[in-house]
């Protein structure tokens, strides 16, 4: 447990949690330029029209994957303060229904996934476990998810906000197979928001800050069967545990 008593990366410190094998996360102050990027990274153009055709639900799954990896890749920058030199530009590409069909998307997603899977296991585990809390069949899950993703998307007007929230809520109820993907996108965005909020108020776990940004105790990790297939590399990284992060990309100049 002592390995969590010092910063493992420049951007945060981890300490032992009450949950065996898990840690509490205390972010460091975030430079202004990196913080400004975080305000954009949580925004995605979620659909405003409902359609249950398989092509449409597959596209929403792609949007969820994209937004999850995008938020996690940004957390990589927050934690490591360095990464692939293309990462900041990749993070500024906004996920949306039209962009999801771009032929260059697989290459962009591969770079985001490399950064996301290069995160320390404790950070990834926190995001996955929080998604499990949303998936634990409580009656407000759809409302919580729709409100969070809609607010982060920065809708242009109230009508767009309402349409987006209604569509996301409807997909949650009507297409249960999408819940795992939606929950991961919501949880990754929440983690970014919590990280930025904490780092603005406290420095490395000021005693007034309590338990950091991690839930303690946190929800149990959801079974792989309720998560999308594209989450497998993230789950593999968690299973590898501390010290087994994938090799980071070249440092930014």
Mean pLDDT confidence for 128-156: 91
Determine the 3-state secondary structure of 27 from DSSP. Answer: strand
Exposed, middle or buried, 12 (CB in 10 Å: 0-12/13-18/19+)?
buried
Query: Which pTM value belongs to this model?
Result: 0.88
Question: How does pLDDT run across 110-119, given as a tens digit for each residue?
Answer: 999 999 999 9
Residues 83 and 200: beta-carbon distance below 8 Å: no
Task: Show Cβ contacts of residue 62 under 8 Å, excluding neighbours closer than 6 positions.
Answer: 100, 105
Residues 33 and 252: beta-carbon distance below 8 Å: no
- Taking 60 as the threshold, does the pLDDT of residue 250 lie above it? no
Residue 137's pLDDT is 72
Question: How does pLDDT run across 8-51, given as a tens digit for each residue?
Answer: 688 888 777 666 666 778 888 899 999 999 989 999 999 999 99
- Give the residue with greater pLDDT, 178 vs 9: 178
Exposed, middle or buried, 94 (CB in 10 Å: 0-12/13-18/19+)?
middle
Query: Torsions phi, psi of 16, nearest 5?
Result: -60, 140
> Chain-wide mean pLDDT for the chain?
85
- Taking 80 as the threshold, does the pLDDT of residue 210 lie above it? no
Alpha-carbon separation of residue 104 from 82, 100, 101, 108, 146 (angstroms): 24, 9, 9, 7, 29
């Amino acid at each position: 447990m002592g390995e969590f008593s010092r910063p493992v990366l420049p951007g945060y410190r981890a300490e032992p949690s009450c949950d065996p094998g898990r840690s509490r996360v205390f972010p460091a102050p975030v430079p202004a330029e990196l913080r400004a990027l975080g305000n954009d990274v949580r925004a995605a153009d979620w659909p405003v029209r409902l359609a249950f055709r398989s092509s449409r639900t597959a596209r929403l799954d792609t949007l969820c994957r994209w937004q999850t990896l995008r938020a996690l890749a940004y957390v990589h920058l927050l934690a490591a303060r360095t990464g692939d030199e293309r990462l900041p530009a990749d993070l500024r590409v906004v996920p949306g229904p039209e962009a999801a069909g771009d032929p260059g998307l697989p290459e962009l997603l591969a770079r985001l996934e490399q950064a996301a899977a290069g995160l320390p296991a404790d950070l990834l585990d926190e995001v996955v476990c929080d998604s499990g809390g949303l998936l634990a069949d409580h009656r407000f899950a759809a409302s919580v998810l729709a409100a969070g993703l809609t607010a982060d998307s920065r809708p242009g007007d109230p009508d767009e906000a309402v349409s987006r929230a209604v569509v996301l809520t409807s997909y949650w109820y009507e297409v249960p197979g999408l819940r795992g993907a939606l929950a991961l996108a919501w949880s990754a965005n929440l983690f970014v928001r919590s990280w930025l909020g904490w780092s603005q108020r406290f420095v490395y776990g000021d005693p007034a800050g309590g338990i950091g940004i991690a839930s303690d105790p946190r929800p149990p990790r959801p079974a792989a069967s309720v998560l999308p297939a594209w989450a497998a590399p993230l789950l593999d990284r968690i299973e590898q545990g501390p010290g087994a992060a994938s090799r980071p990309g070249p440092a930014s100049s």
